Structure 1
Amino acid sequence: MTSFNGEEEVVGLCRDLIRIDTTNAGDNAGPGERAAAEYVAGKLAEVGLEPRLLESDDRRTSVIARIEGTDPGRDALLLHGHLDVVPFNAGDWTHHPLSGEIADGCVWGRGAVDMKDMDAMILAVVRQRLTEGRRPPRDVVLAFTADEEAGGAYGAQWLAEHHGDLFEGCTEAIGEVGGFSVSLDEQRRLYLIEAAEKGIAWMRLTAAGRAGHGSMLNAENAVTELAEAVGRIGRYEWPVRLTPTVSAFFQEAFGIEVEAGDAEATAAKLGPLARMIGATLKNTANPTMLDAGYKANVIPQTATAHVDGRFLPGYEQEFFATIDELLGPNVTREFVHHDIAVETAFEGSLVRAMSEALLAEDPSARAVPYTLSGGTDLKAFSRLGIRGFGFAPLKLPADLDFSGMFHGIDERVPVDSLKFGVRVLDRFLDGC
């Protein structure tokens, strides 16, 4: 069998994946993930694995494979990444988002950060290890999923519901949005490992009123009712709630216990990272869409709006009680998408393995837990009893606003960071 070098391969794998259009606009639209899934399956089969391609619908394809460990009595580990990406406007980009261009020491393109970089690192590490005859100490299940960017109904959720047997024995997992470095100053380089995720509540609000002529008096105007409810929600100041993971982040990052009253001022000291951490201090509800009426002189019978709600672990009940109070008596809500919050303690052998692998490649590394304000496929896998973390290790330049590139323009990942990630993941698999 041909031997593969993960550090040499990873850039090409990342570029190939970026060039495969897997744009997911939601509502089961777009080209789907089949072409990318077939590419991944081919790379895995080439090194002796037997990947399974599973389709929840036409073109909505996920890939599952299992690597046997040297100690089959141990619990299995899940490595998961999604193949789809969010839409883009190519005219806004310096390099075309499907080009996989290498420029300024980076691989550019949609998915370079979220998350074809991690997909490529997993493939590179697995291919090198298997051609060298190095099996991990425990069974490892590989999952490359469809539809994560639209909530996972055609991907991880469907897999967990219909093919849970493929994850038999898996008790722990690593996936996206964690393990990347943030330089607070010359002495402190933190590697943020996701240990919690906020829950999701995408809601459609509907106000019902009395239709009529725009020139007439109307005390039952649906547009007015809706606008007032949206205004109350959008301007509401949610209280700070320090969850265990957020408190642990402050303790690790600053070496102090932070009280709720000081949390926002402390988070503001984090520079570009303040935006990400700040969103994990409280529940949030942002109005995102409005729709009402069909003619300037007609008062419509109904008006609708969409709100993106995110609730902290342990605060879902408080979130919805507040939302219902803010809606008022004449506006109703229904879910567009609703999913759980998750949180796990930042401790145990898996955490040690992540920290030690980082330290071996970067002696200045300090692994710290954090809460993700968004959501990942971990929510679906947690329903199978799997405890997970975000760990896609990247050592990044101090001046790169990495978190700002998730779903942003000019998404790119440094070449050196990809190679660093391969080395760290290789060490991690030995120590996990």
Structure 2
Amino acid sequence: MTTHPETSPPAATDEVVELCRDLLRIDTTNTGDDATSAGERRAAEYVAEKLAEVGVESQIHEAVPGRASLVARIPGTNPDRSALLVHGHLDVVPADAAEWTVHPFSGEQRDGYLWGRGAVDMKDFDAMMLAVVRDWQRTGARPERDIVLAFTADEEAGSDRGAHFLVERHPDLFADCTEAIGEVGGFSYTINNDLRLYLIETAEKGVDWLRLTARGRPGHGSFIHDDNAVTALCEAVARVGRHRFPVVMTPTVEAFLEHAAEVLGIELDPDDPELAIAKLGPIATIIGATIRNTANPTRLAAGYKDNVIPSRASATIDCRSLPGQSELLAEQIRELIGPDIEMEYVQRQPGIETTFDGELVDAMAAALRAEDAGARPVPYMLSGGTDAKAWNRLGIRCFGFTPLRLPPDLNFSALFHGIDERVPVDGLQFGVRVLDRFLRGC
């Protein structure tokens, strides 16, 4: 194993800010439509250029023109070890500049933060990956195991044009990968000045996006009309949107809540965990969504003229199922909407869960503690989804580990897909140091 210095060389911690800024300035908005999504090819070419500058070859693969992902491999010193996949996506969700304090694609640095769409989701980690590898190439450092780097397209719309495309069309690139790290994990939750929990993602909920459709008899808007598709749809959507599914405590969530209850000195009732979750502060938003299946209406579509009753109305429901509960959730939704509403999947990817143990977890913990003596790594479940669902199809054991030490008062979860997304500069530099230690020691 390569001898590790006490801290990463200044070049990596300084360069990560520049790399992240450059990536933020590339508009990689993913609208979910190939015709209007932009910038992924440009971002992949930027990554390829930065790797080529230090002698790393890479391959760009397009699912369709412009929807580009990049893969590269850093050889390790031990050919008997399996490879580790380190992945980050290049696309971002849309941003309305009128709502932001700074332009969302400015990459502006102010008040100790780097601002821009993608700052935490997840161009910060893309920049960390690049900074560490570029520093290794300049200094001659090598990891023990091969590191496969993947910078993907389309994660924000289900990964069909990105990670799933790579899994289906280029699985050979990942044939010897047994473990992976990516978003969203390794970030701090401050208990006090001497103790911070670092949440490592070992599970994430499934994606079960549904389209509900109601059909009725069209007619003039001035008539009395008992067979109105809009009315039927709205009643069904309201039933789904107001429903609270029963609490189910998975091993990951139970483990996190036990850790949190211990350090916070609060009681945890497994039958009513919401009492404890309510005391977690801003992080309660994420944790509270992982104790049950959820279903949130997000879009409605009906009609073509104000005085015409349409024959069809549809809605999109963003459903998230706990690992192993996708079928149960479908049954629950069907019961809520009734027999007359059609239901089809827009996107369906099952939840995943692994255990919080093994040499990889030990290496994460060691790297965190080396940079923060008050670090206490704990497992948690992400309420959203990531590219891990694609890699899991290849039998790869996936973790969310994007290390960041955050200010105690920062509402981190609100930054994801939110207004004024930003990452603390010192947290970004902390992440490079931790990632460097981890990748050398895993």
Query: TM-score, structure 1 length as denominator?
Result: 0.97
Asked if the contact 1:4/1:131 (under 8 Å) is kept, the reply is: no
The aligned counterpart of 1:40 is: 47
- Report the CA distance between 1:55 and its aligned residue: 1.0
> How many positions carry a matched residue from both structures?
430
Asked if the contact 2:261/2:268 (under 8 Å) is kept, the reply is: no
Q: Percent identity?
A: 62
Within the candidate set 4, 15, 24, 1:18 is matched to 24
The aligned counterpart of 1:105 is: 112
Amino acid at match of 2:19: L
The aligned counterpart of 1:88 is: 95
The aligned counterpart of 1:263 is: 273
3-state DSSP class of the match of 1:57?
Answer: coil
Determine the C-alpha separation between the residues in 2 that align with 1:269 and 1:187: 20
CA deviation profile, 1:8-27 (whole Å, cap 9, x unmatched) = 11000000111111111112
1:125 aligns with 2:135: no
Alignment of 1:372-383 (within 5 A): 372-383=382-393
1:314 aligns with 2:324: yes
The aligned counterpart of 1:292 is: 302
Alignment of 1:102-181 (within 5 A): 102-181=109-188
- Report the CA distance between 1:229 and its aligned residue: 0.6
- Report the CA distance between 1:173 and its aligned residue: 0.3
- Report the CA distance between 1:216 and its aligned residue: 3.4
Alignment of 1:358-369 (within 5 A): 358-369=368-379
Amino acid at match of 1:74: R
Asked if the contact 1:4/1:127 (under 8 Å) is kept, the reply is: no
Amino acid at match of 2:243: Y
Within the candidate set 245, 248, 255, 1:241 is matched to 248
The aligned counterpart of 2:216 is: 209
Asked if the contact 2:203/2:380 (under 8 Å) is kept, the reply is: yes
3-state DSSP class of the match of 1:114?
Answer: coil
Query: TM-score, structure 2 length as denominator?
Result: 0.95
Q: Do the aligned partners of residues 258 and 316 (structure 1) sit closer, same or farther apart at CA in structure 2, a change above 3 Å counting?
A: farther
Determine the C-alpha separation between the residues in 2 that align with 1:388 and 1:274: 23
Runs of 4+ in structure 1 off by over 6 angstroms are none
The aligned counterpart of 1:331 is: 341
Q: Which runs of 5+ in 1 are unaligned?
A: none
Computed over aligned residues only, the root mean square deviation of the Cα atoms, in angstroms, reads 1.4
Alignment of 1:394-413 (within 5 A): 394-413=404-423
Determine the C-alpha separation between the residues in 1 that align with 2:294 and 2:330: 11
Amino acid at match of 2:171: G
Determine the C-alpha separation between the residues in 2 that align with 1:101 and 1:86: 18
Determine the C-alpha separation between the residues in 1 that align with 2:145 and 2:30: 34
Asked if the contact 1:184/1:270 (under 8 Å) is kept, the reply is: no
Amino acid at match of 1:20: I
- Report the CA distance between 1:357 and its aligned residue: 0.3
Determine the C-alpha separation between the residues in 2 that align with 1:357 and 1:264: 32
- Report the CA distance between 1:257 and its aligned residue: 8.6
CA deviation profile, 1:179-206 (whole Å, cap 9, x unmatched) = 1111133443111111111001111110
CA deviation profile, 1:285-318 (whole Å, cap 9, x unmatched) = 0011112223343322111111100000121121
The aligned counterpart of 2:237 is: 230
3-state DSSP class of the match of 1:276?
Answer: helix
Asked if the contact 1:182/1:398 (under 8 Å) is kept, the reply is: yes
Amino acid at match of 1:14: C
Asked if the contact 1:241/1:260 (under 8 Å) is kept, the reply is: no
Determine the C-alpha separation between the residues in 1 that align with 2:53 and 2:251: 44
Within the candidate set 422, 425, 429, 2:435 is matched to 425
Determine the C-alpha separation between the residues in 1 that align with 2:59 and 2:349: 27
Amino acid at match of 2:410: L
The aligned counterpart of 1:355 is: 365
Determine the C-alpha separation between the residues in 2 that align with 1:414 and 1:4: 17
- Report the CA distance between 1:48 and its aligned residue: 1.7
Amino acid at match of 1:80: H
- Report the CA distance between 1:345 and its aligned residue: 0.5
CA deviation profile, 1:94-140 (whole Å, cap 9, x unmatched) = 11111111100111111111110000001001111122111111011
3-state DSSP class of the match of 1:262?
Answer: coil
Asked if the contact 2:26/2:39 (under 8 Å) is kept, the reply is: no
- Report the CA distance between 1:252 and its aligned residue: 2.0
CA deviation profile, 1:231-286 (whole Å, cap 9, x unmatched) = 11011111110011101111222238944422111111110001111011110000
Asked if the contact 2:302/2:314 (under 8 Å) is kept, the reply is: yes
Determine the C-alpha separation between the residues in 1 that align with 2:377 and 2:44: 32
1:219 aligns with 2:219: no
Asked if the contact 1:344/1:387 (under 8 Å) is kept, the reply is: yes
Determine the C-alpha separation between the residues in 2 that align with 1:285 and 1:415: 35
Determine the C-alpha separation between the residues in 2 that align with 1:73 and 1:258: 45
Amino acid at match of 1:329: P
- Report the CA distance between 1:395 and its aligned residue: 0.5
3-state DSSP class of the match of 2:50?
Answer: helix
1:190 aligns with 2:190: no
Between stretches 73-82 and 47-56, larger displacement belongs to: 47-56
Amino acid at match of 2:409: D
Determine the C-alpha separation between the residues in 1 that align with 2:150 and 2:391: 11
3-state DSSP class of the match of 2:271?
Answer: helix
Within the candidate set 360, 380, 384, 1:370 is matched to 380
Determine the C-alpha separation between the residues in 1 that align with 2:110 and 2:139: 32
Determine the C-alpha separation between the residues in 2 that align with 1:96 and 1:294: 35
Asked if the contact 1:250/1:257 (under 8 Å) is kept, the reply is: no
Asked if the contact 2:267/2:276 (under 8 Å) is kept, the reply is: no
1:30 aligns with 2:40: no
3-state DSSP class of the match of 2:385?
Answer: coil
Q: Do the aligned partners of residues 404 and 6 (structure 1) sit closer, same or farther apart at CA in structure 2, a change above 3 Å counting?
A: same
- Report the CA distance between 1:32 and its aligned residue: 3.3
3-state DSSP class of the match of 2:405?
Answer: coil
The aligned counterpart of 1:388 is: 398
The aligned counterpart of 1:276 is: 286
The aligned counterpart of 2:5 is: none
